[in-house]
Structure 1
Amino acid sequence: MIKIAPSILSANFARLGEDIELLNKSRADWIHIDVMDGMFVPNISFGIPVIKSIRKITSLPFDVHLMIEKPDRYIEDFVKSGADIITIHYEADKHLDRTINYIKSFGVKAAVALNPATPIESIRYLIPNLDMVLIMSVNPGFGGQKYIRYSSDKIRELKEMKDKFNENLLIEVDGGITMENVEEVVKNGADIIVAGSAVFKGGNIKKNIENLRGDL
């Protein structure tokens, strides 16, 4: 069964605690947390203090997506703030293998994210040691973008590598996923669906998550 990971980048920041409580009462599986530094991506979101504060009000796993340069500098801090899964970008770390092992040394799961133009082949040798790969189906940095069509090809290609090298690997997809295309994304091989606008629009969080799940 697929997992739904609502991205709180699309939540109402003026009532973030209330939105987290609504996620607690929904069928959300994880909470996806986009951390942006204004350098790796042209936007700044939130950091460790916010993660610590919401960790106190939910037991849902924290899927922390670091869209930051030189992420190894902050791994321990994010672990201490409550991260259960830490995702770093292939494009942002010069010593990816070392950082993956560093993340795993804290007993949390390690994942690598790939920007739309980055080929799956780039991480072929890392797949056996990864818990998850995040395929960005939009260009990172902003919510509300449209799904990039060739992302489906990348999902299928990654699924083939998963079947060959690491059957326990989770495939996560983030960007532009809607009620209209979620079934296609799952059929191509996605295990985890990250959704921001599709979950938080209209404030109907519980209903929107149910609609995303559908019969999947």
Structure 2
Amino acid sequence: MTTAYTPPAYITFTGIDRADLLPGMLALSARYPIEWGVLFDVAQEGAPLFPSESVRRVLQSAPLRLSAHICGAAARSIVETGDAALDLAGFSRVQINHGRAGSSDSEIRNSALFGARQGVRAALQCQGDFPTDARVDWLYDVSFGTGVRPATWPAAKAGLPFCGYSGGLGPDTVFDTLRKFEIGAGAAYWIDMESGVRTGNRFDLAKCETVCSIVFDGHQP
């Protein structure tokens, strides 16, 4: 089904892992509403997708819109205790990727508490209709960074918390996919992509620019 097109409030490009990307990120952010997603997991620091601490500090000091995507032990600590020893200076949003089985009431409460302590809004993932629980924002995610595109997408309706979509989005799919989203009057949403803007497992700013031109300038792939 194709619906009337409503552009997202912004695009999150997740998996920034190199400091040499910074000039291009700044240039692209000056043209489009972009959030750059930085993955946190101490067990994977320095691996593709997960920047080293030194690279992360360079990013945190830049005038960019950043979101912290927290994985691994730190994510588990947040949902269990509401706390984790992380330096999130410079981040305007935090996403806690703690598991694929949804979130319990206590996990939602602790995630919201952690975000409040950082002075930012927290987000959690969902795998069905967007929850009505407004303590956090919700990202529809059945892909978990693997590039799997869902067969159907939940509706974003006015009155729901801020909603996001991810899964199989990239230069070749974003034009058609966004026109399948059911976005109610007065509702806003964001989109998140990770594997779709990588080439040979390296973050590809040219793909980010292509996506932005399709989403915000109306160019067709």
State yes or no: 1:183 paired with 2:178. yes
For 1:128 and 1:6, locate their aligned partners in 2 and report how far apart those are by CA, in whole Å. Answer: 21
Is 2:123 the partner of 1:111? yes
Give the fraction of aligned pairs with identical amino acids, expressed as a percent.
11
Q: Does 1:79 align with 2:105?
A: no
| Change beyond 3 A, Cα 1:191–1:48 | farther
How does 1:159-198 map onto structure 2 within 5 Å? 159=156, 163=158, 167=159, 169-177=161-169, 178-188=173-183, 191-196=189-194, 197-198=196-197
The answer to whether residue 127 in structure 2 is matched with residue 129 in structure 1 is no
Distance in structure 1 (CA, Å) of the matches to 2:166 and 2:68: 13
The 1:173–1:185 alpha-carbon spacing in structure 2 relative to 1, beyond 3 Å, is farther
Aligned to 1:102: 114
Structure 2 alignment gaps of length 5 or more? 1-6
3-state SS of paired residue (2:86): helix
Contact 1:135–1:173 (CA under 8 A) maintained in structure 2 = yes
Partner Cα distance (2:176, 2:138) in 1: 20
Give a deviation string over 1:71-93, Cα, whole Å, max 9, x none.
4286452433x221111135387
More helix by share: 1
Following the alignment from structure 1 to structure 2, what is the Cα–Cα distance between the partners of residues 84 and 50?
18
Alpha-carbon contact 2:17-2:49 (below 8 Å) kept: no
Distance 2:77 2:43 in 1: 13
| Deviation sequence 1:37-82 (CA, Å, 0-9, x none) | 669xxx8623654332112222x321222232314286452433x2
5 Å-filtered alignment, 1:197-216, equals 197-198=196-197, 201=204, 203=206, 205-215=208-218
Query: Considering only aligned residues, what root-mean-square deviation do their CA atoms show, in Å?
Result: 3.6
**1:35 aligned partner, one-letter code:** F
Shift of 1:99: 3.1
1:64 matches 2:49: no
User: Structure 1 length normalisation: TM-score?
Assistant: 0.68
Residue type of the alignment partner of 2:161 = L
Q: What TM-score results when the alignment is normalised by the length of structure 2?
A: 0.66
Conserved 8 A contact 1:26-1:206? no
Q: Which residue of 2 aligns with 1:147?
A: 149
Letter of the structure 2 residue corresponding to residue 192 of structure 1: W
Instruction: Please give the per-residue CA displacement for 1:83-120, whole angstroms capped at 9, x wherever unaligned.
Output: 21111135387741123213213321111123xxx444
Change in 2 beyond 3 A, CA 1:108/1:212: same
Of residues 91, 101, 106, the one that matches 2:99 is: 91
On the 8 A contact 1:135/1:174 being kept in 2, the answer is yes
- Partner of 2:134: helix, strand, or coil? helix
Aligned CA distance change for structure 1 residues 201 and 146 (closer, same or farther; 3 Å): farther
SS at match of 1:20: helix
